[in-house]
Amino acid sequence: MSRYLLACDAGGTMTDVIVVDEEGKFVIGKAPTTPQDESIGFLESLDEALEYWDLAQNQKEVCGSAETAIYTGTSMLNTLINLSGLKTGLIVTRGFEDIIIQGRGSQTFIGYEWSEISHMQYRKHREPLVPRRYTRGVTERIDMFGQPVIPMYEDDVRTGVRELLDDGVESLAIVFLYSFTNPMHEARAAEIAREVMKEVGREVPLVLSSEVAPISREVSRTNATVIQAYAAEPSRKQLFNIEEKLVDAGYEHSLKTVLCYGGVTNIRYPRLFETVMSGPVGGIMGGKHLANTIGGLENLVCADMGGTSFDAGCITQGLLPIDREPPFQKMYVNVPMLDIRSIGAGTGTYIRLDPETNRLKLGPDSAGGTPGPVFQEQGNEIPTIGDCDLLLGIINEDYYLGGRVPVNKQKAHDIFKEKIADPLGLDVPTAAEQCVDLVNVMMREHLIRSLMLGYDIRDYTLLGYGGAGPMHLVGYAGEYPWKGIATVPHAAAFSAWGGACMDYGHRRHKSVAGLIPPGADTDTKMYAAQAVSGAWEELENQLIDELVGEGFTKDQISLRQIAYMKYYGHLDDLEVASPVVRLNTEADVDKLVESFVDIFTTTYTLAGKPPVPTYQIGEVSVIAEVATVKPTVNKVDLEGKEPPKAARKGTRPVFYEGTWHEGQLFELDELRAGNEITGLAVVEAPSTTLYVPAGWHARLDEHEIIWLNKGESS
């Protein structure tokens, strides 16, 4: 009996499922996302994928033979956006009761342009996850060296917890100022809280910042702790529901999900807040797996355009971009995440006219999968970018999602004409092309002005994917001199495919204080070394206990030690993979310093290096991984440049640069490695559409990667 791997990416608009067999072959299914019950979209997408292998009637057999099922969704993100989490109470160090409401000033302009940042009226704090009335202060203080200088007033804890429980809180978070150096006060407060819960006869989830994020920067630590208390359990219910449906279908294992920093874990993972932005992670990890497999793509920009958002991340010299204090939902959080920059730009993006200026305004909101674009006739009466793609002749009205979803092109035309084209004084195709050009400019500027600021894009290959990625790829990539522009046939489910490309793994971070001044003697170096090695050992023990508890053996687990170092006085540190497991000797410390210097000199100009350097280690991390079986990237024999007859589907009028042209039509699944296509052409598949404008050329290489370049040949 064949064995399978199932991986799912539930985005804001569409849910993609990829089924991989034991030979590394895979099929993709796609269905609208169903936020009210994500299992519906998941199972519909799974059924659609199995139809390609004529296994739709054998779902129980496939699920029963699945070794692993991986799910990434939007349930936790939706909980935070909709403010539908648990009523959470917060216990903090006295004097810091306003920590959530006050936050940090820069949180008020996360994601804003410079023109907006400079105007105070644009700056607004987000609605707090914990209102001030559900916060209680406790007298206590531990200093920066981990020494208790004010004992904890236990009666403050008892009174605060009892009052919060009486107010009906459904979860509790405890955040003390310097608990990351010594968690003794938080641990004792937790004991007292559990005693009070027992006394009142009501138990609620209890989260400690020293367990969630033992790192300096108290606002970010508090945000991370509150997210775990507020949103983890509601999100876990969605995951348990999906697992239950899979078990009913014959699946015999636990459901897995994806961590923000790239890695797979069990849905029972206690620090579930680390999955809060798991969806876009799959695409970056898929890009890294692809680059590692075929070689030559050490510098890779991964860009995902779906129906709701445009998400992009940058891999430099093969290193994943980790942000340890990322901006998220107008908060900074101490949750290590892949550095993925997102804007509201997708085929579901709403198109409106500004009533004051009569100018086009795109988004940032979206029609999502339900109701979707106007042409789906599910209740949306606001034009979207997807409607424009249809009106321009790029989307095939008879082949949308393989023809499974009916399309009313006339309704899209009439609504767009009434609300956009006529008020602008333009004909419908001209106005639609302007809307598409505008969204392409938004994505192009997002890449260049945000993600790639300070990098030379001539050194980077741009990989475009997502359900709408191949359709708009040339539009947002073509104006700049990328080293290469590429997409893949399975672009629509590339993030789901990437979910299947990750190792099972966790990581932990901890703040430390390590300083190595100029001319440091052995004792000074070893004092810093003890802090670093001690933290590594503590984190390793936690990670090993977790993974052993999830069914792995110690010999399956590999560990990597990380130090975050900078020159004293610099603002930003660098991630340094330690060349040694422990800093046991002065020579070990010197090796770590040498590694940092090598990374610094290849990352920054030498002018940034101090003439008399002091080295500072402010944080350490350990990554624990268990290798998994991954989809294969096959290499096939090249065939002729001319696409086979079966791939040709005739022609269709396509509006381009102000006039109608006859565009060649091709079926993506019928193309073969070595085939080349010269635009103007539309390459169709059930899950996506590749648009090749006039003057552009597409080539399918031996790894079945599609390369796009300007001109008639590669």
pLDDT at 1: 53
Question: Strand (E) positions, 129-180?
Answer: 135-138, 141-142, 148-150, 171-175
**Closest by Cα among 613, 513, 636 to 563:** 513
pLDDT at 712: 55
Question: Minimum mean pLDDT among 8-17, 249-258, 479-488: which range?
Answer: 8-17
- pLDDT tens per residue, range 162-175: 999 999 999 999 99
Burial class from Cβ neighbours inside 10 Å (0-12, 13-18, 19+) for residue 14 reads: buried
- pLDDT tens per residue, range 654-666: 999 999 999 999 9
DSSP state of 299: S
Do 278 and 260 touch, CB atoms closer than 8 A?
A: yes
| pLDDT tier for residue 66 given thresholds of 50, 70 and 90 | confident
Q: Does the pLDDT value for residue 265 go beyond 80?
A: yes
Mean pLDDT for 576-592 is 95
Q: Does the pLDDT value for residue 277 go beyond 90?
A: no
Mean pLDDT for 628-641 is 85
pLDDT at 534: 95
As a whole number of angstroms, the distance between CA 668 and CA 651 comes to 15
| pLDDT tier for residue 352 given thresholds of 50, 70 and 90 | very high
pLDDT at 54: 83
pLDDT at 696: 95
Angle value at C-alpha 495, between 489 and 496, nearest 5 degrees: 90
As a whole number of angstroms, the distance between CA 146 and CA 210 comes to 13
pLDDT at 713: 54
DSSP β-ladder status, 558-567 and 574-577 = antiparallel
Burial class from Cβ neighbours inside 10 Å (0-12, 13-18, 19+) for residue 519 reads: exposed
Q: Is the peptide bond before 371 cis (omega within 30 degrees of 0)?
A: yes
pLDDT at 120: 76
* CATH (residue range 4-79+235-253): 3.30.420.40
As a whole number of angstroms, the distance between CA 115 and CA 554 comes to 53
Mean pLDDT for 326-341 is 85
- pLDDT tens per residue, range 93-104: 999 999 998 888
Phi, psi of 398 (to 5 degrees): -95, 5
**Closest by Cα among 194, 261, 181 to 221:** 181
CB atoms within 10 A of CB 405: 16
What are the residue ranges spanned by the domains of the chain?
4-79+235-253, 87-204, 504-626, 645-652+665-710
- pLDDT tens per residue, range 647-700: 999 999 999 999 999 999 999 999 999 999 998 999 999 889 999 999 999 999
Phi, psi of 697 (to 5 degrees): -135, 140
- Better pLDDT: 371 or 222: 222
Q: Does the pLDDT value for residue 714 go beyond 50?
A: no
Average pLDDT over the chain, rounded to an integer: 90
pLDDT at 564: 95
Mean pLDDT for 410-426 is 96
- pLDDT tens per residue, range 95-138: 999 999 888 888 888 777 677 777 777 778 888 999 999 999 99
Burial class from Cβ neighbours inside 10 Å (0-12, 13-18, 19+) for residue 208 reads: buried
Note the CATH architecture for domain 504-626: 2-Layer Sandwich (3.30)
Kind plus residue range of the DSSP H or E element containing 567: strand 558-567
Burial class from Cβ neighbours inside 10 Å (0-12, 13-18, 19+) for residue 406 reads: exposed
pLDDT at 325: 86
What proportion of the chain, given as a percentage, has pLDDT over 90? 54
